[in-house]
Structure 1
Amino acid sequence: MGRFLAACVALPVLAACGGADGSTARTEPGADGGAGKATPAAEGAEPTRSTVKREMRRAIDAGGFERPRFVDIPESDITSGCVMVAQVRTSEDPEEKAVRTVVADLKKSGWSQETGWFEDYGSLWSLKRGEWMLDVMTGSVTEALAADAPPDAPAEETQAFTGMIVTAIDHECARAAVASAKASPSPSPN
């Protein structure tokens, strides 16, 4: 599981971007001032980047976890605007019931489950909504695996980690970012 989660921590470098804000999806504030539930106008609508982030936070909160830390994706990654990564550190591997609550909350927001499994060493749940893919992963990355991170990796990728990582990728945005990069020739070194 360690190598699997380590690869997933680095996933943004390989991945995708946030949608344009033209969606009709809206959320109503919850009684506690939180993000609330999606209104009927949101059903079937392509979610915006801010909607996905709000749903990630709300689901993580529903599972009883601490507030997530959203990882900064380096701007040098052409898909940096297409990916969001939330990390929640825990002292032990997250409990199955809490992770299932996170997934259930996402499903209530309109995400459909593509895959999901829970093993002794961690879990992976993949959900889809429009062009967005969202992965909920749990487990541990040992210090030895973290030490294998590339030299230019962000500091959080070079440290041991136990907890949950939620990654959201807008595939339409990623395809556009990659196509744009291919169409724009890189300046040649002189």
Structure 2
Amino acid sequence: MRGAGVAAAAVAAVVVLAGCGGGSDERSEGAASASASVPAGAKGAGPTTASVRRDIRAAAGAGTFEGLRFVRTGLTERLACQLIAVAETSAAPARRQVERVAEELERRGWKVSPRPENKETAGYGYLPEKGSWHMDVIAGADLHGMTGIMIEAWAADCAAGSATPTP
């Protein structure tokens, strides 16, 4: 199945980029939110895993990407600071679709920067940041065996203790 290869490639990319891997699946979203965020009353409280997940869903919807799914891997099973979402398409997404994703993330408070084009994967996208969370939004025709959009999100402070094993 192509999704497994996409997930493995996505995890490898995030681990290299962030020095921290992990995520949340649907079962542990509440626990992940608590462990990957600052207490609600704390000054400068940032996004929670649940709010990042909602932002990803809303952004994908704004870009009219159907079939968005969160991918689970060994790291996302064990750690609460990484999310990987993919939506496969029949052809490379139009740049305007990806721009709409970035616009929705900006509307939701993310600081969005253009992502350098990746000639190896023919991908393009954005690098949003909000609080301690970072994203890599990439779309293209050959993203490690998949055509569509991949959104990876991770908390930079994961190594500081926000990683939580799942049972």
Q: TM-score, normalised by structure 1?
A: 0.61
- How much does 1:10 deviate? 3.1
Deviations 1:110-158 (A, max 9, x none): 000133356893203101101000110012338xxx6xxxxxxxxxxxx
Query: What amino acid is aligned across from residue 96 of structure 1 in structure 2?
Result: R
- SS of the residue aligned with 1:23? coil
Structure 1 match to 2:138:
137
Query: What amino acid is aligned across from residue 174 of structure 1 in structure 2?
Result: A
Distance 1:114 1:76 in 2: 25
Structure 1 residues 132 and 88: alpha-carbon distance in aligned structure 2, compared to 1, 3 A threshold = same
Deviations 1:29-75 (A, max 9, x none): xxxxxxxxxxxxxxx64011000000000110011110311010315
Aligned residues: 139
Structure 2 match to 1:72:
72
Deviations 1:89-112 (A, max 9, x none): 000111000000000000000000
**Runs of at least 5 residues in structure 2 that lack an aligned partner in the other structure:** 1-7, 23-31
- Percent identity for Structure 1 against Structure 2: 30
Query: What amino acid is aligned across from residue 95 of structure 1 in structure 2?
Result: A
Distance 2:54 2:76 in 1: 25
- SS of the residue aligned with 1:133? strand
Structure 2 match to 1:176:
161
1:80-91 equivalences in 2 (<5 Å): 80-91=79-90
- How much does 1:165 deviate? 0.2
Distance 1:123 1:165 in 2: 10
Contact 2:38 2:45 in 1 (8 A): no
Structure 2 match to 1:10:
12
Distance 1:133 1:12 in 2: 10
Q: TM-score, normalised by structure 2?
A: 0.69
Contact 2:105 2:112 in 1 (8 A): no
Distance 1:131 1:70 in 2: 20
**Runs of at least 5 residues in structure 1 that lack an aligned partner in the other structure:** 1-5, 25-43, 147-159, 181-190
